[in-house]
C-alpha cells in the first residue's frame, strides 16, 4: 500500500478516495478503523473514514492514531490526514492536535497543511483561504453551526491549535514548480517551522505540491492536494495509469434505489425516475409515526414488483411537506423515523437477492451502510461528479452508490445501472 489516509468525516473520505482512484490508484475506503483481519492487500491506497471533526481533541487524536496504526500495519508507506477544504475546525482543534500526534507517530519533524481545492472554489493566497473568491471569514462558513470560521489567515488559525511553529510557503515559490517548493520546504524547516501552510490557486499548483511532498511520511490537506500524489507514486512504481474505466463489475442480483434525501437534486431524480416508469413506493413520515405504514408494508409492496428492473423506495418530499411533518413530529424525530425505516428495509435486501443499491442522502447512506454491516468499499468509476460506484468488501457482496443529496444529474437513477457489468 502506497498511501494510508485518515479522513475526519465520511463524505470527505469518499471525496478523497475518488480523487485517488481517478488518478489511477486502486483505492479502498473503510467505514471506521479497519478490523485487523480485513483484507486490504489489493489496494494502493486505503482511506479510513472517521467522524472526528467535531469530537473532543483527545478523542480525535486517539481515533486517528488507531487508524494510522492499522494502516501502517497493513503496509502503508506514507500517511495522509484529510480534512475539509474550508479547514473546518475550532480553536482547540482538531487539525492541529491530530497533525502533531501523527508527526510523532511517524517520527517526522515536518509537514504541510494545504486545504486548497480550486476546482471547488477553495484557493489559498498568502496563507488566506478564499471560498469562491470570498475570504473564509466572510463566506457562509462564518455561520457554520459547529465550526464557525471567523479568520481566513490559516497560519493564525492553525497556530492557535498547536504549539508547533507554523510557517507559510506562498504562491511565488509554488509557481516555481516542484523543485522550488522542495527548496522552500528546506528553507522553512531551517527557520524552525514544523508545519507549513502552502498557497495554491490552481490544479497545476496542487500537482506541483503533491510531487514535492510525495515522500513526506505525513501529508495533511484537503482532497485537492492528493491530486499530485498518484503521479509521484506511479512514476516510482510505473504500474498504474489514470483510470478511464466506465464500467464496473457488480454481483448478480436485483436493483433498488433508497432515497431519504429531500435535497433539490434528489427531488428531481425521484421525479425523473417515476416519469420513466420505475415502480415507486413513497414513505410518509406521518404514517410511519402512527405505524399505519411500516418497513414491512414497503417490503410487501416490493415482493409484488417485477424483478427485472430497478425499484424505488423514497421519503423525498418538498420543503413545504418536510416543514409540515417536522412541525408535527419534530425535526430530529422525523429524520430518525425515516432513517430507521430505510435501515430496516435495507437489512432485509440481501436475503431478497437485491445486491445493487443506490442510496440518496448523506445521513441516509450512513444509516443504510450500518444496517447492511458494510465495513469497507472498493472505489469504482464515477457516475456523476463526486459519486462513484463502490463494491462492499468483507461482508455481503454488494454494489453500492452512496449519493450525497445534492449530487448527480436528474437522470442519475436511470443511467447509473448501465455502468454495471
Chain residues that interact with ligand ADP, rule: CB under 6 A? 260-263, 266, 285, 315, 317, 321-322, 325-326, 334-335, 338-339, 361-364, 404-405
Q: Which residues contact 183 (CB under 8 A, 6 or more apart)?
A: 173
Which phi and psi angles does 71 have, rounded to 5°?
-65, -40
Look up cell 416543514; give the residue. Answer: 323
Minimum separation from the CB atom of position 346 to ligand ADP (A): 13
Complex with ligand ADP: residue 111 or 364, whichever CB lies closer = 364
Enter the DSSP assignment of 225. Answer: G
Complex with ligand ADP: residue 30 or 261, whichever CB lies closer = 261
CA distance 302 to 216: 52
CA-based end-to-end distance of the chain: 27
Complex with ligand ADP: residue 73 or 328, whichever CB lies closer = 328
Complex with ligand ADP: residue 210 or 361, whichever CB lies closer = 361
The CA–CA distances, whole Å, from 267 to 142, 258, 411 equal 29, 13, 11
Nearest to 18 by CA among 223, 246, 210, 202: 223
The CA–CA distances, whole Å, from 197 to 28, 64, 124, 127, 268 equal 28, 21, 9, 6, 40
Minimum separation from the CB atom of position 367 to ligand ADP (A): 8
Complex with ligand ADP: residue 253 or 285, whichever CB lies closer = 285
Minimum separation from the CB atom of position 370 to ligand ADP (A): 13
Nearest to 166 by CA among 87, 71, 88, 96: 96
Minimum separation from the CB atom of position 359 to ligand ADP (A): 8
Complex with ligand ADP: residue 76 or 367, whichever CB lies closer = 367
Minimum separation from the CB atom of position 287 to ligand ADP (A): 11
Complex with ligand ADP: residue 196 or 338, whichever CB lies closer = 338
Minimum separation from the CB atom of position 340 to ligand ADP (A): 9
Complex with ligand ADP: residue 25 or 368, whichever CB lies closer = 368
Which phi and psi angles does 243 have, rounded to 5°?
-80, 130
CA distance 56 to 229: 30
Q: How is 78-135 classified by DSSP, letter by letter?
A: EEEEE--TT---BTTBSHHHHHHHHHHHTT---EEEE--BGGGTEEEETTEEEETTEE
Minimum separation from the CB atom of position 267 to ligand ADP (A): 10
CA distance 45 to 29: 9
Q: Give the CB-nearest residue to ligand ADP.
A: 405
Which phi and psi angles does 3 have, rounded to 5°?
-135, 125
Please state whether the peptide bond connecting residue 94 to the residue before it is cis, i.e. omega within 30 degrees of 0. Answer: yes
Look up cell 481515533; give the residue. Answer: 63
Residue 394 CB neighbours (<10 A) = 16
Minimum separation from the CB atom of position 289 to ligand ADP (A): 10
Complex with ligand ADP: residue 107 or 290, whichever CB lies closer = 290
CA distance 253 to 392: 14
Minimum separation from the CB atom of position 364 to ligand ADP (A): 3
Amino acid at each position: 500500500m502506497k498511501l494510508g489516509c485518515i479522513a475526519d468525516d465520511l463524505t470527505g473520505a469518499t471525496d478523497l478516495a475518488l480523487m485517488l482512484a481517478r488518478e489511477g490508484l486502486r483505492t479502498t475506503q473503510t467505514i471506521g478503523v479497519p478490523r485487523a483481519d480485513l483484507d486490504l492487500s489489493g489496494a494502493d491506497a486505503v482511506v479510513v473514514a472517521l467522524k472526528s471533526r467535531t469530537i473532543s481533541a483527545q478523542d480525535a487524536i486517539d481515533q486517528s492514531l488507531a487508524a494510522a496504526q492499522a494502516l501502517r500495519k497493513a503496509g502503508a508507506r506514507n500517511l495522509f490526514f484529510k480534512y475539509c477544504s474550508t479547514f473546518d475546525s475550532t480553536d482547540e482543534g482538531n487539525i492541529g492536535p491530530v497533525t502533531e500526534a501523527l508527526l510523532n507517530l511517524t517520527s517526522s519533524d515536518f509537514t504541510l497543511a494545504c486545504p486548497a481545492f480550486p476546482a471547488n472554489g477553495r484557493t489559498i493566497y498568502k496563507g488566506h483561504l478564499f471560498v469562491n473568491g470570498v475570504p473564509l471569514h466572510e463566506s457562509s462558513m462564518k455561520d457554520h453551526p459547529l465550526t464557525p470560521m471567523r479568520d481566513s489567515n490559516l497560519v493564525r488559525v492553525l497556530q492557535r491549535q498547536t504549539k508547533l511553529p507554523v510557517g507559510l510557503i506562498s504562491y511565488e515559490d509554488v509557481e516555481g514548480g516542484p523543485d522550488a517548493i522542495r527548496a522552500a520546504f528546506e528553507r522553512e524547516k531551517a527557520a524552525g517551522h514544523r508545519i507549513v501552510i502552502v498557497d495554491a490557486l490552481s490544479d497545476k499548483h496542487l500537482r506541483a505540491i503533491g510531487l514535492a511532498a510525495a515522500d513526506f511520511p505525513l501529508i495533511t490537506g484537503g482532497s485537492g492536494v492528493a491530486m499530485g500524489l498518484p503521479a509521484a507514486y506511479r512514476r516510482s512504481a510505473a504500474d498504474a495509469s489514470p483510470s478511464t474505466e466506465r464500467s464496473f463489475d457488480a454481483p448478480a442480483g436485483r436493483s433498488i434505489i433508497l432515497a431519504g434525501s429531500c435535497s433539490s437534486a434528489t427531488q428531481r431524480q425521484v421525479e425523473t425516475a417515476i416519469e420513466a416508469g420505475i415502480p415507486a413506493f413513497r414513505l410518509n413520515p406521518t404514517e410511519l409515526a402512527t405505524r399505519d405504514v411500516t418497513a414491512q408494508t414497503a417490503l410487501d409492496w416490493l415482493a409484488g414488483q417485477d424483478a427485472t428492473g430497478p425499484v424505488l423506495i423514497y421519503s423525498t418530499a418538498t420543503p413545504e411537506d418536510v416543514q409540515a411533518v417536522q412541525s408535527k413530529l419534530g425535526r430530529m424525530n422525523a429524520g430518525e423515523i425515516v432513517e430507521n425505516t430505510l435501515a430496516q428495509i435495507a437489512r432485509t435486501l440481501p436475503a431478497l437477492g437485491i445486491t445493487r443499491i443506490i442510496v440518496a442522502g448523506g445521513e441516509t447512506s450512513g444509516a443504510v451502510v450500518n444496517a447492511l454491516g458494510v465495513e469497507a468499499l472498493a472505489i469504482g468509476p464515477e457516475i456523476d461528479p463526486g459519486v462513484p460506484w463502490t463494491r462492499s468488501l468483507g461482508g455481503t457482496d454488494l454494489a453500492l452508490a452512496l449519493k450525497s443529496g445534492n449530487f448527480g444529474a436528474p437522470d442519475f437513477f436511470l443511467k447509473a445501472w448501465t455502468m454495471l457489468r
